[in-house]
Amino acid sequence: LPEFHRISANAKLLTIKFRSLRKLLLELGILFFGVFILNADFIIELLFSEEFIDAVIILKLLSFSGLVVFINYPYYMLAEVINKVNLRMYIRIITFFMTIAIVYVFVKLFGAPGAAIGLIIGQTIFMLLLHLITQTHNGGFITILKDFSMLLVAIPAFISGLFVQSLFENEFIILILGSGSFLLVFILLGFFLGRLEFLHMIITILKKYFPIFENKLNK
């Protein structure tokens, strides 16, 4: 946020920084919540018991909701920097009550999982409204298609993780190898496509705080 404020007078640079942060949080969200989704059964059994196995679908849906929340953070900050705080507050209030109504309807239709679906829809509506009020500095709709392309990379990564999990019966091995396969495929595909923002972040951190790496990384 301080960085956004420092460059607020430079609209072009602000857009670049915003997109970079949005891509970064999208990637980290996919990695973090992807592992949750892939191992939802194991997590529920570990924290609770097999009696609550029906909660697996809820955990998976809430993970999707969490991913949308991650993506909302850059929009939230951008709205502040371009002096849209009041408008941001209004749409937050509006989407809060909309989410309550949507959750109520979906709970009636689908039971407990409906609440999680309602949260996903509510957070997505909030993100779209934030996009509209910040469109002068967020790069526009086309950039969403470009920046969110990592969601497509997540598909083969998930398939890889599920395939590896199907090869074993031990839950701990399934957790380790399935998650490892998902993370490895996602990172490798993203690297070869040149779209991994968090690798740029790691390199930047190493250069800044560990000068010994700077020459090697520059090469």
Report the pLDDT value the prediction gives residue 194, as an integer from 0 to 100: 76
Q: Can you state the percent helix, strand and coil of the chain, rounding each to 5?
A: 85, 0, 15
User: For residue 211, what pLDDT is reported?
Assistant: 66
Q: Judge whether 164 and 178 are in contact, CB under 8 Å.
A: yes
Asked if 202 contacts 28 with a C-beta cutoff of 8 angstroms, the reply is no
User: What does the angle CA 117 – CA 177 – CA 64 come to, to the nearest 5 degrees?
Assistant: 15
Residue pLDDT, tens place only, 145-179: 888 989 999 999 999 999 999 998 888 888 999 99
Whether 30 shows a pLDDT value over 90: the answer reads: yes
In the structure encoding, which two tokens stand for residue 41, read together?
Answer: 């059964």
Q: Give 148-217 as a DSSP string.
A: TTHHHHHHHHHHHHHHHHHT---HHHHHHHHHHHHHHHHHHHHHHTT--HHHHHHHHHHHHH-GGGHHHH
Query: Is the pLDDT reported for residue 195 higher than 80?
Result: no
Span 73-83, pLDDT tens digits = 999 999 999 99
The tens digit of pLDDT for each residue in 108-139 reads: 999 989 999 999 999 999 999 999 999 999 99
- Residue 217: pLDDT over 60: no
Model pLDDT for residues 196-214, shown as the tens digit of each residue = 787 777 777 767 767 665 5
What confidence tier does 10 reach under pLDDT thresholds 50, 70, 90? Answer: very high
**How is residue 218 written in tokens?**
């520059």
CB-CB contact of 106 with 58 (8 Å):
no
What length is written for the chain? 219
Q: Decide: residue 155, CB within 10 A, 0-12 exposed, 13-18 middle, 19+ buried.
A: exposed
